[in-house]
Amino acid sequence: MKSKAAVNRIIETLKELYPDALCSLQYEKDYELLFAVRLSAQCTDARVNQVTPALYARFPTLESFAEADPKEVGEYIRSCGFYNGKAKDIVICAQRLIRDFGGKVPGTMEELTSLPGVGRKTANLILGDIFGREGYVCDTHCIRITGRLGITDGSKNPLQVEKQLRLSIPPMESNNFCHRMVLFGRDTCTARSPQCEGCPLARDCDTAKAQK
């Protein structure tokens, strides 16, 4: 396991690079973030942000989503891929939010993961962004980069990575840390060609050290 001092340096460097650490998905209402995360599965956030304005204009309330025909919802989100399954999940999720949670996005891992299409990654993001709690969002960027850094052991299993991050990343830092992983993964530590030379995290990165 990487030393606490090294982890702290990584956290602080990322804060300097990305002080805002904002979620890249655009939303105004809590449930809109929940739906946007569902749409982002195997799709880019940029694409989701292109699709959701028209979707939310057509279905401006949770009730309108609950009453929607999944086929019509699917037409709005077609370019996100797997649109039939995503549309069905969104409509059923809206119905469940109204029926079981008083029209509110629930605030526990157990409640969130009981909703269709919501796994631990989505639930962690909601807990962090909506409720200000710890949120260890293990998406592809986070899994890849923490493995390269040596914060995790290189596992590709999201649950295993989450468990390892919980041992290293303080809860109050977790949500923003994971958002910064996404930003860092897009502009520096990319999947195909990580820019190790001159990387601001190279001092504490196992992969960068191995290349010397």
Catalytic residues: 121, 139
Residue of 138, 141, 152 lying closest to 188 (CA atoms): 141
DSSP 8-state code for residue 26: -
Asked if 81 contacts 44 with a C-beta cutoff of 8 angstroms, the reply is: no
Contacts of residue 179, defined as CB under 8 A and 6 or more positions apart, other chains included, come to 18, 21, 22, 23, 24, 137
Which residues lie below 8 Å from residue 44, measured CB to CB, with a gap of 6+? Answer: none
